[in-house]
Amino acid sequence: MDISVKYRIISEIINSNNEQVLNAVKSLLKIEDEVDFWEGLTTEDQAAIDEGLEQLDKGKYESRESVRKEIESKFNF
């Protein structure tokens, strides 16, 4: 197939708003919908991440350096 035809196909796909056509192309190319990372998490994991982000926003965190020093001290590294 001529490269110009391929470019035209790509252009038509990009400019198309026809869901039926786009779904047909997706099906022909065996393209699966990507699962959103966040949606793949359990509600408990989402809550833990939200809590951690909240703590960061409030300045409640330990620096990498302070954690490293604490581990060195605790385990005599």
How do the domains of the chain map onto residue ranges? 38-75
Band of pLDDT at residue 35, cut at 50, 70 and 90: confident
Taking the C-alpha atoms of residue 41 and residue 47, their distance in angstroms, rounded to an integer, is 10
Taking the C-alpha atoms of residue 22 and residue 32, their distance in angstroms, rounded to an integer, is 13
Does the pLDDT at position 17 exceed 90?
yes
**Contact present, 62 and 69 (Cβ < 8 Å):** no
Does the pLDDT at position 76 exceed 90?
no
Taking the C-alpha atoms of residue 40 and residue 60, their distance in angstroms, rounded to an integer, is 27
pLDDT of res. 34: 83
Mean pLDDT of the chain: 93
Does the pLDDT at position 64 exceed 80?
yes
pLDDT of res. 26: 94
Contacts of 77 (CB under 8 A, 6+ apart): 71
